Amino acid sequence: MTDAPAASDDLRDRINTTQPHTARIWNYWLGGKDNYEVDRVTGDQIRKLHPGIGDYALADRQFLGRAVSHLVNECGIRQFLDVGTGLPSADNTHEVAQRLAPESRIVYVDNDPLVLAHARALLTSTPEGRTDYLDEDLRNVDAILEQAAKTLDFSRPVALMLLGVVIFIGDDEEASGIVRRLLDALPSGSHLVLTHTITSPAMPDVDAAVAFWNEHGTPKLTQRTPEAIARYFDGLELLEPGVVSCNHWRPDADGEPLPDEVAMFGGVGRKN
């Protein structure tokens, strides 16, 4: 596997190829090529501590596809605000949504320079819809909303996608406040789609993997219990089956035994 291609000039200086980064390691686990040697080495070390870690990346991506499909087909959602985009791979939010409803509009938000460099080339749109991206941090709620309003109509329902990104906010009150402020700006009928790595006594090797990452990588991660993750949906109508392992959320193989849980939990909630 070769190193990731260079970014455009205005972003190249912001890319640190000497320290592993979560977005690039996630890309490596998904079988992508947009990563560097330092990411692959660290990704392999984490996988030794927790061999199933690659399954989390796949479960999270498949959850995205099922959640977006449900929101488009069953809820009539045509607008998506995807914060913490990560590196483009197969079946990104806009691809799933516009495949089903070509007029869908998507705004991606990320502050990783390599993500932004690839977004310019890969996050394209159907002629009927629109796909834009913002260079912003999750914490900059006002800036995100102001810029996203140039593409999205906040008088109509929006799906707020927060997949594997709240884990980067260490303070619980700050994390809850960010999610609440984003939701407060959205009208009735909007939805929250959120995933988060859990900590659980049944999965001690996950804690070891996260501890290793926090010692060697950036940005730092904060795990939370399934109960703490469910609190992000307070005040929303939580869709069945609630906050569960991502691979247990409305799996495609109905009637078959559920696979083993992964330590990436998620849910979908509706704002009434």
Helices (H), the chain: 9-12, 22-29, 37-49, 53-75, 93-100, 113-122, 141-148, 172-184, 204-216, 226-230
Taking only the tens place, the pLDDT of each residue in 89-137 is 678 899 999 999 999 999 999 887 777 777 766 667 889 999 998 999 9
Q: Could you count the other beta carbons within 10 Å of the beta carbon of residue 59?
A: 25
Residues above pLDDT 90, as percent of the chain = 53
Query: Does residue 139 register a pLDDT over 80?
Result: yes
- Span 132-144, mean pLDDT? 94
Q: Could you count the other beta carbons within 10 Å of the beta carbon of residue 234?
A: 11
Residues above pLDDT 70, as percent of the chain = 91
Helix (H) or strand (E) holding 245: strand 244-245
Query: Does residue 1 register a pLDDT over 50?
Result: no
Query: Does residue 5 register a pLDDT over 70?
Result: no
Taking only the tens place, the pLDDT of each residue in 51-75 is 777 777 788 889 999 999 999 999 9
Which amino acid is present at 240?
A: E
Q: Give the mean pLDDT of the chain.
A: 87
Residue 181 is encoded by which pair of tokens? Answer: 């402020």
**Of 137 and 27, which is predicted with more confidence?**
137
| Residue with tokens 């692959």, as numbered in its chain | 40
Residue 120 is encoded by which pair of tokens? Answer: 């310019």
Question: Where on the phi/psi map is residue 255: left (φ > 0), alpha (ψ -120 to 50), or beta?
Answer: left
> Rounded to two decimals, what is the model's pTM?
0.87
Which amino acid is present at 154?
A: F
